Every structure is written in C-alpha cells, then in structure tokens.
A and B are shown apart, each in its own frame.
Chain A
Amino acid sequence: MVFSFIFLPLLIAACLPLIGKVSKKLIPDVLTNAALAFLLLNSILLIKPVFTRGSLLQNITWFGENVNLQVALDGFNLFMLFTIALVSLCITLFSIDYLKHYGYQANFYALLLVMVAGMNGLVLVPDLFSVYLFLEVAAIASYALVAFGLGPEELEASFKYLMLSVVASAFVLLSITIIFGLTGSLSFQAVARGLQDLDGGGLIIGICLAFFIMGFGLKAALVPFHAWLPDAHPSAPAPISAMLSGLLIKVSGVYALFRFIYSVVGMTPALSKVLMAMGTISIVVAALLALGQNDIKRMLAYSSISQVGYIILGLAIATPLGIAGGLFHLFNHAVAKGLLFLNSGSIQHITGTRNLNELGGLGKKVPLTAGTNLIGALSIAGVPPLAGFWSKLIIIIALVQAKHFGYALIAVLASILTLWYYLLIQRKAFFGPLNDRWLKIKEAPFWMSAANVILALLCLLVGIFFTPVFKIWISPAAEALARGVQQVLMWGI
C-alpha cells in the first residue's frame, strides 16, 4: 500500500506518452486524476493504522528477495503525503481545461506524475541517499516542466533554475558523502547513532549542516538562496507554478531539511538560531520584493519565499507548538498558494495577461475567480477566520512562549506587509473600474473554477473547523517531529 505512493505515479507516467499517441486528451485526463484521487484516498485510509501503531516500516521485496529500498511512515510524512495528494489532485483537475492551449497533455501529465512520485519518495524514504535520489527525480521533472512552454523566457528561467539547483544538489551530495565517511551508514537511525558515538568532529558536522542548509535552503528558496524562484515559478504553466510553490519547495526544501535535522542530528539552540534568523530575513525581504511587482505570478512567487520563511521560523523554534504551527502553515500555504497560482492561471486564461496594471474591475465579470482569489489571499495574509490566520497565530504564540519577542514582532509586522501586497492584487485586478478591454470576458471553464472553489473551500473550512483539524491532523505530525528535539547530541551546544 505504502509503495503505491511511489510506484503508481511512476507506472502511469511511463505509460502516458504511449497512450498519448492514441488518445490526446480524455484518457490522460482520466488516468492522471484517478491515480491522484487514489493516492489521496490511500493517504486517508492510512491515517488509522499509522496513528494506532505510531509508525510503519516496509521493505520492498521482489520474488521473495529484499530489494534495498525501505519506506518509513509516521505522522509527519503521512501528513505530507496527504497534502501532496490533495493539492496535486486539485492541480490536475485544473489542468483538464487549462492545458488545452499547450497541447501535449500526455507528456505534461507524465512529467507531473514523475514529480509527484519524486516528492512522495522523498517524503517516505528513511535514508540519506534515497533522499538525494528522489530529490533529483522531482527536480529533473520540474526543470522540464518549467520549460514546458518552450519560449525564450521559460528556457532561460529553467536553465537558471537548473544551474543553481545543481550547485545545491552537489553540496547536499558532498555533505551526504562526508557523513557516510564519518558514520559508515546512510539510514537515518544508523547515522543518528553513529553521530552520537563519534568523538569530536563537531566542526565537521557543523559544516555538513551548513551544506545541508544551503542545499535544501536553495530548494526551499530561503533568502539569499532564492534568486531562481521568481524567474522559474512564473515562467511555468500555472498548474506547475502551483505545484512548485505549493508543494515542491516545501517537500524538497523544508521537509528534507527538517527531517534531517529532527530525525538525524537533533535540533540544537545554535541551529535554531541560524534557521530562525534566515526564516525571518526571508519573510521580510521577500515581502518587500513582492510589493514592487506588477506581474501577479511574480508577486505570488515572492510571497511564497516570504511564507516559507514563516514555516521555517515556526519549525525552527523547536517547541512542540512552534513545530505544529510551522506544519499547519505549511499545509495552509500549500492549499492557499496552490489556489492563488491556479487562480492566476484562470486570470491569464480569461484575459490573456498577468500584468496587474492592465487588469481592473474583473470582480464584477468573474465573481467566482475573484471570490476564490480573495479567500486565498486573505488566508495567506492571515485574516480570521480563514485557515492562514490560525497557523500564523500559532507561530506567533509559539514565538512569544519561547520568549522570542523580536521575532514575534517582525512576524506580526510582516503579515501586515503580506496583507498589503495581497490587497494590491485585489485592488488592481478585481476592484475598481472595469477596464474597457475586459467587457466581453467570461468566467473560467468548469474544471478550472471547480479546482479554485475546492481549494477556497478548504481554506475556509480548515479555518472554521480549525480545532478538530489541528488536534486530529497537525498535532500528531508535530509530535512525530518533536521527538527529535529531545535527541541529545554529542556535538551539541
């Protein structure tokens, strides 16, 4: 069951280019959506066994022989699997109508499914090398998808993304090699034990950690490793932007980094300090940058950097509440940012432009798109009673509890900046007088609107039913992570 998260998308991805020769649209659409719906269902069905047994460990076998691939499932990665399946399902639903003017649906879906498989694998595996492996699987699919439109801008962005990513991957690989050299093993548990038994060598582990922070930080687009993202995310087709901003940066950046920290080396005050500072710098710098943008997608891309800063700030506090807040914000941001990028796709589909200065007054013409955009924007900006409000509130409460008053203040002030640039979108695109150019526009097609509405409802419902969602879903995931905090570290400070 657990392996289906990796192999099902891979299998379908392998078949899709061939099927594409036969059926241009219908079969790829149905097959992809069905596969992702199955994964979503699967992740929901796994909730009970995982929560009752704490964690699951499975080995893959081939005719009775153990193949050296192991998956481990606990509250944290089940939470990630669910988020990935949910958001990517909405994205593929959206793609049914959106991809009409790109063509090559089958290839697109194949790449998208490879990316999903890569992310699922990255989330599931309990050893360092497999982490690297799946990191690259997801990344390569994403390079291709960023360049999917094949225009000069897309190609440039993709190339830049590739070149910076490779540097990051190289450092991650280097760091893994060093750790393998030190401990002689790669699985999380063995490495953790090995590091504890190690005498001296704190410095070298520190440098390894710095490499990890840089490598995964680049994937997560932390400032100052963020520069590829504002080019890459807007260039990709809207569903892929949603995928990258909503999921990939979180899985291959935030998840991988914090899985390594909490499950292998343990969180130390020094590490916490470094990560909190980086998170906060990301929040502020990216929010200011977002303010100056005229392209909706670029603004959203900067906003992603800023919000990832919040997630990292929450996770790095290293108190159970902080971790829970960070994870909750991760989920809420995945949903809301997915919604906003899809929505920007709707706007582009409707009007043909993403330039805020050319839009105006769309609210009266396309109320569904405008309404869902408003909900997503307010959720990310942290307006009650939407989901994003609660997660930001928890992060800020956790900061205050841990006596980081300065960070708490910055987090609050930056959320005002967030609200500012999201209201800028609302004002320039949806409110105000209708630009004469848009007199004849029509609401987005059914599946595009449906995906928007589903995600907007999620923002709303998670916000309203925040207590049960948080208790049943977020807290167990946070507990699975928080165990790592107590891990005593030999090189500890």
Chain B
Amino acid sequence: MMATTLLWPIIFPAVMAIVLFLIPAKIKVVREGLAVLSSLVLLYLGFSLFSIKSLTLKTDWLGMGINFDLRLYQFSAFILLALAGFLFLITLYSAIKMKDHPRSREYYGYVFLAAAFSNGAVLANNFILLVFFWEALLITTYALITLGLKSTSHRTAVKSLLIGGLCDFSMIMGIGLVWASTGTLTMSEVHLEPHGLTAAAFILMMIGAIGKAGAMPFHTWIPDAALDAPVTFMAFMPASFEKLLGIYLLARISLDFFELKVGSPMAMVLLIIGAATIVLAVFMALIQKDFKKLLSFHAISQVGYMILGIGTAVPIGIAGGIFHMINHAMYKTGLFLSAGSVEHRAGTTELKKLGGLAREMPWTAFGFSVCALAISGVWPLNGFVSKEMVFHGALETGYPIFAIAAWVGAIFTFASFLKAGHSVFFGPRSTEVPKTKDSEWPIVLPILILAVLCITFGVYNKLPLENFIQPVVAGQAEPGQHLDFTAGALNLFTPVAGVSMLCLLIALGLHFYGWNRGGKKAYLASEPIHHLPVLRQLYDLSEARFFDIYEQGIKFLVWLSKILFKFIDRPIDFIYEKAVVSIGRFFTVLFQKAHNGQYANYLAWTIGGLIAVVWVIVELLQ
C-alpha cells in the first residue's frame, strides 16, 4: 500500500468536516447520513491500516528537523482503529440526539475536525507535528463545549482551553528539553534515561499527556462540562478520544521516549498521581446528585487506574493500564450515551427526579447495567480483567499501598454505580417524569454495541490482549520471557481476585445501608459517607471549588492584578496623566506664545537659526 494512504485518516475527516459544515442548516437527513457514512469509511480505513501495521511517510516540512513525519505501527494502528470505532458510534448516536440542535451544522464540523486532529496526533512521528495536532484539539474542544448552549458553557469552554493550554505548554517545554538533549525531533529516535534534565523533560511531557487524559489536578473542567456541554461531547471527548490520546501518549512517553524502571522516582510520581486520582475522584463521584456529573467524576477516577498501571512499569501493569484505557473508553462512552438516552426521553439527568425507568427503557437499562458492572470490575466483564491486571502490577512493585488505593477506588466505584442505577432505572417509578418509551434505534444501538463489546472483551479477553495489547508491551518484557496475560485472567480463586470480590461485597453492603438510612431513596444512598465527620468538611470545601486549581489560579490572578493595579499601574498612570501631560502642556503653551504672528519675530528666528547653523558647522570644522 502507498505511504500516502497515511494521509487519508487526516485529510478525509478534515474535508468531511468542511463539507458537513457547508451543508445548509435546512437539509437535515443528508447531513446525518453523510456523517455516519464517512465515519464508516474511516472505520474501514482503520481496519485496513490495522491490517498493514507498518507504514511511514516522511517529507520535509518546516526545515530544522521539523518534518512531516507519519508513522503507523502496532500501537498507533490500534489507537487509530479504536478512534474510528468510537467516532462511528457517536455519529450514529448524534444522528438522533443532535438532530434538532440549533447549531448541529457546527457540531458535525467540529467532531470531524477533532477526528482529523486526533488521527494526526496518533500518527505523528515528529514532536512538532504532534504538538500541532495536539494543540488544534483544544480549539475543537472549546468549540464543542460552547455548543452546550448553557449560560455557563463559554466559561467552561474557556476553563478547558486554559487548563489544556497549560498542560500543552508544559508538554512543549518537555519536548524542548528532549530536543536539547538528543538533538532530534523524530519521535521514533528518542529513547532517554530519565535523570537530571531529562527527568524534568519526562515530568513536563507527562503533564501534557495526563492533562489530556484528565487526571488530577487537571480534571476540573470535566465535571463542569458534564453539565454545560452536549452529552455527546462528553461521550466523544472526555470519555473516549481524550483518554485514548492521553494514555497513548503517556504509554509512548513511559515506554518509548524514556526508560521507566520499576520503583524509580519517575515511576513513583506516576503511581502517586494515579492512586490519588482514583481515590479523590471516586469520592467526589460518590456524592453526586446528577447522572452526567457522576459519570464525569468516574471518567477522572478511571484515568487513575491507567496511570497507575503504566506507573508500575512491570509488563502486566502496563498492559493492564492500556487495556483499561480501551475498556474504559467503551464502557464510559456507553454510560454517557445511556445517560444521554435518559436525558433524551426524560428531559433531565438529576437522580432525584428519575426512577424506575427500566421497564420503559429496557434496552438503555440493559446497556447501562452491563457497562456499569464492567466499570465496577464485576466478573467476567472486561473491567474485571484489566483491573485485576493493574492490581497484580501494583502488588509487583512492592508497594501494596497503591493496590489498596486501587481497591478503595473499586469499592466506591461500585457503590456509586449501584446508587446511580438504582436511582435511574430501578426502584419505584418516579412521578416527575411522564410516561415514555425507549429511545430510537440509532441511540440504543451504539449503547448495545458497547455493552456487547464489554462482555466480549471480558469473556474472550484473548482477542484484545493478544491482538492489541501484548505486541505493545512486548518490548518491556525481559528477554526470553513469554508474555501471556490471558491464562489466569478470569480466575476467581486467587487472593487478588478474592480481595476484589470482597470489595464489591462491601460496596453492596454500603449501598443498602445508605439506602435504608435514606428512607429507601436510592439517590440518598451515599449520604452516610457524605456526612462522615472529616469527609463532610472536605466535601463542602470541594463543592465550593476550593481544590480546583483553575478557580484558585483565577482568584490568585485577580488578587495579583488588583495589587499590580494599585501599586504599579496607578503610580505609573499618575506619571502619565499628570506629569507627562502637564509638561507637554507647558511646552505647548510656551511655543504657542512664541508664535505671535509677527513677521519681524519670525525673520529673527530665521536669521538666528542661520547663525546657529553656521556656528555649529564652523565649530565642527575645527
């Protein structure tokens, strides 16, 4: 196959974005049809490129080592395929969900543009090219959030742009350091031992990657976006695309660009960020009263598992992290889509107002239940497999504390999904929602496909593990060691699996305790934990955005600008306003008085000037 085929996944969606953007707003069906068709074409392209697995395209671009360099190999082909798959499901879903959106023209344009940039970022084999596509994604993210059309949408969009920009800036600095120490910008030629300056480069680039994936503390725009952005965007960006891209880059950084050793300081940084993200975000998720917001905190919490997995730096952990990435993208997209389906029919996502929808929306309820069980790590779904791998990896590092953090996360993940599912689909039928039926098939089908995939990837985990994951981490294995993660993947009778099952039981117990205490109201099931002595204060602070670095940063900047205004700006302004103006005025008046209109006066100046010029020239001559 020709090397220029590599341009197709970038150029085709970009062209389609323009086409979809130009189709007049009145023509409805054609646009949706075209969007779904082109996403199918991309999916086909993803499959055919995945079957090739190895292809490079390199032409000069900007000079100075900045080439237009694309590289398709095992890992990028896998991500490319996954991206195309999610794009197809989401466009299919949007065909109904976004049909009546007043700016649906823009929506499709931005989605396909984002797909083009994402494909470019995945294929890029030059750091500058990567940054180009990576940064461009910020713009489409910004635009898509504003399509939420809420009064706070723009504010959230700016927040995402600033946080993303900060992370990307950090990545650019990291790339600069890498460039300084290796002298090349070609990604496949970089392999560094992280110490000193290169350790700083690792940290800086890592911030760029985990910032995109939405790890703490760069996550704060996601819960805001859950309420302010269209739900399809949440399924599209934070749930699938950004996770795939962010973790892809993190894996590239930790496996290819740098040599991450087990228990090294760099690995510890990743482990700590991962563990903190899991625990803190899951505690926030637990108490949410809104379906979409609850999901958005889980989107953050689950990133922790991926980072933790990669941070273990042992093959099984890394494989678990990457496997968790694809699993998470599937069930979280499924969950957001089912939340969207509920919103589509019931008109709200507030847990308090919902209840007992399972009878009227059986397919959505089924899809949600499978995905929720998968995210909670219930045997034998895909979440179980990848989480077990992460637990094993965490234990292998020799720091059981990280495995414990991951288990704590598992407890509350399950507890919060019990609460969510119980409030929305089961329990008594809510009186606030009028009688309804299940959503149209383009909405239900993607959810069901994802649910089936969750089951497949769990029960038949050989398929993804052998095809996608094992080749990626093959380089991490000791020479001669044979990698096989599938053998005991579904074994329930190991100590690790036992602890995991115990966690699920604890979660079940917690849920029913809280449900009983809350007067059999499912949405109050988390209240006992919410009201624990210390946690309660922390929750209050968190609700007041005390821990949000963005909000605190904004507060600091406002304070700083006030200080600067008072003590620097005003005094300088005084100098301009008073001193400069009055001096200027003084001379203006002085000169004006001299111009009294008398010819003799003017003639005198002329002669005086002549004498002065003669004098100066004569002086200079001597």
Structural contact, A225 and B595, CB atoms closer than 8 A: no
Structural contact, B618 and A288, CB atoms closer than 8 A: no
CB distance from A288 to the nearest CB of B (A): 5
Assembly CA distance A2 to B605 (angstroms): 40
Instruction: List residues 274-296 of chain A with CB under 8 A from any CB of chain B.
Output: 274, 278, 285, 288-289, 291-292
Q: Is B567 an interface residue (CB 8 A)?
A: no
Provided the pairs A160-B599, A288-B584, A289-B595 are in contact, do residues A273 and B606 lie with their beta carbons within 8 angstroms? Answer: no
Structural contact, A225 and B609, CB atoms closer than 8 A: yes
Provided the pairs A160-B599, A206-B618, A206-B621 are in contact, do residues A214 and B610 lie with their beta carbons within 8 angstroms? Answer: yes
CB distance from B618 to the nearest CB of A (A): 6
Structural contact, B589 and A292, CB atoms closer than 8 A: yes
Q: Is B616 an interface residue (CB 8 A)?
A: yes
CB distance from B622 to the nearest CB of A (A): 9
Assembly CA distance A190 to B525 (angstroms): 107
Query: For B607, what are the chain A residues with a Cβ–Cβ distance below 8 Å?
Result: 167
Query: For A213, what are the chain B residues with a Cβ–Cβ distance below 8 Å?
Result: 613
Structural contact, A207 and B605, CB atoms closer than 8 A: no
Query: For B617, what are the chain A residues with a Cβ–Cβ distance below 8 Å?
Result: 206-207, 209-210, 270-271, 274
CB distance from A169 to the nearest CB of B (A): 12
Instruction: List residues 205-243 of chain A with CB under 8 A from any CB of chain B.
Output: 206-207, 209-211, 213-214, 217-218, 224-225, 227-228, 230-231
Query: For A285, what are the chain B residues with a Cβ–Cβ distance below 8 Å?
Result: 591
CB distance from A178 to the nearest CB of B (A): 13
Query: For B609, what are the chain A residues with a Cβ–Cβ distance below 8 Å?
Result: 214, 217, 224-225
Structural contact, B592 and A207, CB atoms closer than 8 A: no
Instruction: List residues 593-622 of chain B with CB under 8 A from any CB of chain A.
Output: 595, 597, 599, 601-603, 605-610, 613-614, 616-618, 620-621
Query: For B601, what are the chain A residues with a Cβ–Cβ distance below 8 Å?
Result: 227
Residue of B nearest to A159 (CB): B599
The residue from A207, A224, A271 contacting B606, defined by CB atoms under 8 A apart? A224
Residue of A nearest to B614 (CB): A210
Provided the pairs A207-B614, A213-B613, A288-B584 are in contact, do residues A227 and B605 lie with their beta carbons within 8 angstroms? Answer: yes
Q: Is A18 an interface residue (CB 8 A)?
A: no
Number of chain B residues close to chain A: CB under 8 A: 26
Query: For A218, what are the chain B residues with a Cβ–Cβ distance below 8 Å?
Result: 606
Structural contact, A292 and B588, CB atoms closer than 8 A: yes
Query: For A271, what are the chain B residues with a Cβ–Cβ distance below 8 Å?
Result: 617
Structural contact, A227 and B595, CB atoms closer than 8 A: yes
Assembly CA distance A214 to B592 (angstroms): 22
The residue from B592, B616, B621 contacting A493, defined by CB atoms under 8 A apart? B621
CB distance from B587 to the nearest CB of A (A): 5
Query: For B595, what are the chain A residues with a Cβ–Cβ distance below 8 Å?
Result: 227, 230, 289
**Most A CB within 10 A of own CB, among B595, B608, B613:** B613
Assembly CA distance A231 to B601 (angstroms): 14
Instruction: List residues 457-482 of chain A with CB under 8 A from any CB of chain B.
Output: none
Assembly CA distance A273 to B617 (angstroms): 10
CB distance from A124 to the nearest CB of B (A): 28
Assembly CA distance A289 to B590 (angstroms): 9
Query: For B616, what are the chain A residues with a Cβ–Cβ distance below 8 Å?
Result: 274
Residue of B nearest to A285 (CB): B591
Q: Is A203 an interface residue (CB 8 A)?
A: yes
CB distance from B508 to the nearest CB of A (A): 68
Structural contact, B591 and A289, CB atoms closer than 8 A: yes
The residue from A167, A171, A274, A291 contacting B584, defined by CB atoms under 8 A apart? A291
Structural contact, A202 and B620, CB atoms closer than 8 A: no
Assembly CA distance A291 to B608 (angstroms): 25
Structural contact, B613 and A288, CB atoms closer than 8 A: no
Structural contact, B605 and A224, CB atoms closer than 8 A: yes
Structural contact, A211 and B610, CB atoms closer than 8 A: yes
Assembly CA distance A285 to B587 (angstroms): 8
Structural contact, A164 and B606, CB atoms closer than 8 A: yes
Query: For A228, what are the chain B residues with a Cβ–Cβ distance below 8 Å?
Result: 602
Query: For A288, what are the chain B residues with a Cβ–Cβ distance below 8 Å?
Result: 584, 587-588, 591
CB distance from A150 to the nearest CB of B (A): 19
Query: For B588, what are the chain A residues with a Cβ–Cβ distance below 8 Å?
Result: 288-289, 291-292
Q: Is A417 an interface residue (CB 8 A)?
A: yes
Structural contact, A207 and B602, CB atoms closer than 8 A: no
Assembly CA distance A278 to B617 (angstroms): 13
The residue from A210, A225, A292 contacting B592, defined by CB atoms under 8 A apart? A292
CB distance from B607 to the nearest CB of A (A): 8
Q: Is A163 an interface residue (CB 8 A)?
A: yes
Assembly CA distance A491 to B603 (angstroms): 31
Query: For B597, what are the chain A residues with a Cβ–Cβ distance below 8 Å?
Result: 231
Provided the pairs A160-B599, A291-B584 are in contact, do residues A493 and B606 lie with their beta carbons within 8 angstroms? Answer: no
Query: For B614, what are the chain A residues with a Cβ–Cβ distance below 8 Å?
Result: 206-207, 210
Instruction: List residues 399-426 of chain B with CB under 8 A from any CB of chain A.
Output: none
The residue from B584, B585, B592, B602 contacting A164, defined by CB atoms under 8 A apart? B602
Structural contact, A163 and B599, CB atoms closer than 8 A: yes
Query: For B620, what are the chain A residues with a Cβ–Cβ distance below 8 Å?
Result: 270, 273-274, 493
Query: For A168, what are the chain B residues with a Cβ–Cβ distance below 8 Å?
Result: 606
Provided the pairs A160-B602, A292-B592 are in contact, do residues A274 and B613 lie with their beta carbons within 8 angstroms? Answer: yes
Residue of B nearest to A286 (CB): B591
CB distance from B612 to the nearest CB of A (A): 8
Assembly CA distance A214 to B608 (angstroms): 10
Instruction: List residues 406-441 of chain A with CB under 8 A from any CB of chain B.
Output: 417
CB distance from A295 to the nearest CB of B (A): 12
CB distance from B387 to the nearest CB of A (A): 58
Assembly CA distance A231 to B584 (angstroms): 23
What sequence of 0s and 1s flags, for each residue 183-209 of chain A, a beta carbon within 8 Å of any chain B beta carbon?
000000000000000000011001101
Instruction: List residues 184-198 of chain B with CB under 8 A from any CB of chain A.
Output: none
Instruction: List residues 478-493 of chain A with CB under 8 A from any CB of chain B.
Output: 491, 493
Structural contact, B610 and A210, CB atoms closer than 8 A: yes
Query: For A171, what are the chain B residues with a Cβ–Cβ distance below 8 Å?
Result: 610
Structural contact, B584 and A417, CB atoms closer than 8 A: yes
Query: For A202, what are the chain B residues with a Cβ–Cβ distance below 8 Å?
Result: 621
CB distance from B504 to the nearest CB of A (A): 66
Query: For A164, what are the chain B residues with a Cβ–Cβ distance below 8 Å?
Result: 599, 602-603, 606
Residue of A nearest to B601 (CB): A227
Structural contact, B606 and A270, CB atoms closer than 8 A: no
Query: For B603, what are the chain A residues with a Cβ–Cβ distance below 8 Å?
Result: 163-164, 167
Structural contact, B589 and A225, CB atoms closer than 8 A: no
Residue of A nearest to B586 (CB): A288
CB distance from A258 to the nearest CB of B (A): 16
Other A-B pairs beyond A160-B599, A210-B614, A288-B584, 7, CB < 8 Å: A163-B599, A168-B606, A203-B618, A274-B620, A288-B587, A289-B591, A292-B592
A-B contact pairs, 20 of them (CB 8 A): A164-B603, A164-B606, A167-B606, A167-B607, A206-B614, A206-B621, A207-B617, A214-B613, A224-B606, A225-B605, A227-B601, A228-B602, A231-B597, A270-B617, A274-B617, A278-B613, A285-B591, A292-B588, A491-B621, A493-B621
Shortest Cβ-Cβ A-B pairs, 6 listed: A227-B602, A270-B620, A292-B588, A214-B610, A224-B609, A210-B614
